[in-house]
Amino acid sequence: MSAAVTIAWRLLRGGGRRGLIGAGLTLAAVAVSTAFLMFTVAVNVAFEHRADREAWRNPVPADAARAVAVQGVRRDFFQGRMITVAEVAALRPGVAPPPGAARFPAPGEAWLSPALAALVRETPPDRLGGRFPNVAGTLAGETLVHPGELVAVLGRAPDDPALAPGRGGDGVAPTPVADFTGRHGADAVAYQSLALVAGVLMVVPLLVFSGAAARLTVARRDQRLAALRLVGATPGQVVGMTVVEAILLALAGAVAGVAGYLAMTPLLARITVAGGTWFVADLWPGVLITFGVLLAVPLLVGASAVLGLRRVVVSPLGVARRETPPGMRVLRVVAFLAVVGAFPVLGRGNAGVVVVAVALALPFLAVNLVGPWVVALIGRVMAGTARRPAWLLAGRRLVDDPRSAWRTVGGVALTGFVAGFVGLLSPSAGLLGDAPADRLRLGVPAAQAATVQAGAERRLRAAGVPARVTVTGTGDRRLVEVTPEPAATPGSTGGSPREGSPEVLERARTALDGLVPGRGASTPAEDDLPGMLLLGDIRTGTVVVLAVSLLVATTSAGITAASSVLDRRQTYALLRLAGTPLSVLDRARRSETLVPLVVMGGGSVATGMFCALPFVYAGLNVTGVLALGVCVVGGFAGVVGAGALSSPLLRSVTANPGPRPD
């Protein structure tokens, strides 16, 4: 083994400048894919962290004998931002406080999250502070979903009407609890599921990419290794050397990738999801997972290297003589059609998220399976119909090595699948309509409507807020609606806020606070806020997934383009010596990428859209189609750009008139 290490190191060092370029490309590829892999895993862990911290707000009911406290949770709002209000009452002395509070809040006390405390300080009390007259302390971060979250924990007496059993309304009805552990809320689970789906969509291209990086090492070496085989090295030695080299490179790349990811976390933490940014610590997936990634990536790369080497090892002449590659089996197409055909069946119904995630990965792999086969087919058509040399070269090359061509365009094509999928899926903002934000509503039982209306009018008058109070609705629940009115006194001084403005709305809301126990007034727009947030987050997720896939795809296209130039430098150099214009070689390289890209990219987008069909509830939407368009254009530009980047490499590699075997 140590001999293999030594020889591998020599090979790496002795490869010369071009060998080092190749090694550098592999290292960069592994680093990029490791960084994104860390990101993908960390995102899922981060949502888990959020869900854990938030769990206490979804109390598990305890029977009367074991209950030590009562807890209710409701929503309040301030200028369109949500405030989570938890009301707690201790049923006996010495109860452990809710998370984040230093002690159990006494009745009437308010413990505020740092962001809410700051907001209260900065805002005139009649708009916000009046709702929390007795602030006793600041909540620690361990109870917050995100750093800027607005949370208030209010202490109540056990017999406070706000905690009366069976009070209706939003949030969590007052619940007797034995402790403040709780369980993951429905929203948190929804986010975790979406993160899982996004993770699957990103992981598959990443794995394909890592595999490509490994093959790149092998491609760089296969000539030399075949020579070693011819000289008489045993298969074990050959495999050992290459695998050791690949693993060492991959390990270095993985470490660089983890470091790069960690360096990026402060930036990534600024991505807003569910109404807030992230604690940087949330994006640290933990020592165990990090080591797992550091272990898995080199192993994966090593395994890929072994697979890539099989041909050299099986026959020493395998690579040296470049035999006709085995034909791509029709089996691949059959498997592809079977998977895609089965997809709508799997996706229908209320299948679990994991099932959906797996079902999602399948057609993804199917596209990858059928890719090389279709590329070879495209090549045959191109070569058969070619009239110009560049087209002929491109076609023959596709037929000769469809897998390597697929490696160049596959990433982008798979992104096309993602784009097609989420392009159809991501819902548009207009789905929920545009609810008014200029009036407050309070839902009350019909019997109390008149009392609440009178109380509201009295409180608003006392607070000096001009507003019209009406009651709407039928049946046993009514809505008391409060519409702040335009200024009755036009001559009022410039210092006072204009009537009908958000400030007045907040003054009205603060005046109404506590009028109906356990329930705050909200505008119709605010009632839609959680849904809107989720929709916005799905869009954010779509953009992130597409951006990551696109970046990975483009990087991989660039790396494979460069490595294909390196692999064929001798032939290219000799062709150039014999007077073949570089423009012909460049055009051939471009066509061998672009033609399959157009066909496969288009096919993938279509496949993705087809697979998304069973999930589409709301029809097409502009954002999704736009994202799709951006993705298509970006992928195209990316691959063309990446190919163009290796043109100087082609120039320099072929400029040396004495082509050496290396």
Partner 1 sequence: MTEGVVLEGRGLVKRFGRTVALDGVDLAVRGGEAVAIMGPSGSGKSTLLHCLAGIMRPDAGEVTLLGRRVDGMRERERSALRRSRFGFVFQFGQLLPELPAEENVALPLMLGGVPRARAVQQARTWFGPLGLGGMEGQRPGELSGGQAQRVAIARALVTGPSVVFADEPTGALDQATGHDTMHTLVTAAAHNGASLVVVTHDPQVARWCHRVVEVRDGRLLPGHTPSPEFSGGGAR
- Residues of this chain that interact with partner 1 (CB under 8 A) are 321-324, 386-389, 392-393, 396-397, 399-401, 570-571, 574-581, 584, 657-659
Cα 214 to Cα 431: distance, rounded to the nearest angstrom: 45
Cα 220 to Cα 202: distance, rounded to the nearest angstrom: 27
**Cβ of residue 389: shortest distance to partner 1, in angstroms?**
4
| Residue placing its CB nearer to partner 1 in the complex, 385 or 472 | 385
| Selection from 235, 258, 422, 375 nearest residue 314 by Cα | 235
**Cβ of residue 569: shortest distance to partner 1, in angstroms?**
10
Distance of CA 573 to the CA centre of its chain: 44
Cα 274 to Cα 190: distance, rounded to the nearest angstrom: 11
**Cβ of residue 388: shortest distance to partner 1, in angstroms?**
7
| Residue placing its CB nearer to partner 1 in the complex, 340 or 386 | 386
**Cβ of residue 404: shortest distance to partner 1, in angstroms?**
11
| Residue placing its CB nearer to partner 1 in the complex, 264 or 320 | 320
Q: In Å, how far are 168, 184, 188, 623 from 54, measured between CA atoms?
A: 22, 7, 8, 31
| Residue placing its CB nearer to partner 1 in the complex, 382 or 460 | 382
**Cβ of residue 397: shortest distance to partner 1, in angstroms?**
5
The angle subtended at Cα 533 by Cα 532 and Cα 536, nearest 5°, is: 85
Question: Could you tell me if 94 and 129 are in contact, meaning their C-beta atoms sit under 8 angstroms apart?
Answer: no
| Residue placing its CB nearer to partner 1 in the complex, 35 or 566 | 566
| Residue placing its CB nearer to partner 1 in the complex, 399 or 545 | 399
Cα 336 to Cα 394: distance, rounded to the nearest angstrom: 26
Per-residue tokens: 598: 């157009």
**Cβ of residue 215: shortest distance to partner 1, in angstroms?**
18
| Residue placing its CB nearer to partner 1 in the complex, 92 or 321 | 321
462: Cβ–Cβ under 8 A, 6 or more apart, which residues? 511
Question: Could you tell me if 205 and 414 are in contact, meaning their C-beta atoms sit under 8 angstroms apart?
Answer: yes
Side-by-side strand order, sheet with 477-484: 440-445, 477-484, 467-472
- DSSP 8-state secondary structure symbol assigned to residue 441: E
Three-class secondary structure assignment of 274-291: CCECCCHHHHCCCHHHHH
**Cβ of residue 655: shortest distance to partner 1, in angstroms?**
10
The DSSP-derived string for 149-198 is -EEEEEE--TT-GGG-TT--SSSEEEEEESSS-----HHHHHHHHHHHHH
Q: In Å, how far are 14, 18, 574 from 577, measured between CA atoms?
A: 26, 20, 5
User: What SS3 class is residue 85?
Assistant: strand
| Residue placing its CB nearer to partner 1 in the complex, 400 or 457 | 400
Could you give phi then psi for residue 349, rounded to 5 degrees?
Answer: 75, -175
**Cβ of residue 597: shortest distance to partner 1, in angstroms?**
19
| Residue placing its CB nearer to partner 1 in the complex, 401 or 513 | 401
**Cβ of residue 426: shortest distance to partner 1, in angstroms?**
42
Q: CB-hemisphere CA count at 13 Å for 242?
A: 33
Rg (CA), the chain: 32
| Residue placing its CB nearer to partner 1 in the complex, 223 or 483 | 223
**Cβ of residue 580: shortest distance to partner 1, in angstroms?**
6
Side-by-side strand order, sheet with 150-155: 135-138, 110-112, 150-155, 81-90, 69-78, 172-177
| Residue placing its CB nearer to partner 1 in the complex, 81 or 568 | 568
**Cβ of residue 12: shortest distance to partner 1, in angstroms?**
23
**Cβ of residue 634: shortest distance to partner 1, in angstroms?**
31
**Cβ of residue 386: shortest distance to partner 1, in angstroms?**
7
| Residue placing its CB nearer to partner 1 in the complex, 241 or 588 | 588
User: What SS3 class is residue 570?
Assistant: helix
**Cβ of residue 601: shortest distance to partner 1, in angstroms?**
23
Question: Could you tell me if 492 and 466 are in contact, meaning their C-beta atoms sit under 8 angstroms apart?
Answer: no
| Residue placing its CB nearer to partner 1 in the complex, 318 or 602 | 318
Per-residue tokens: 36: 């994104």
Cα 495 to Cα 493: distance, rounded to the nearest angstrom: 5
Q: In Å, how far are 209, 361, 401 from 416, measured between CA atoms?
A: 15, 14, 22
| Residue placing its CB nearer to partner 1 in the complex, 27 or 383 | 383
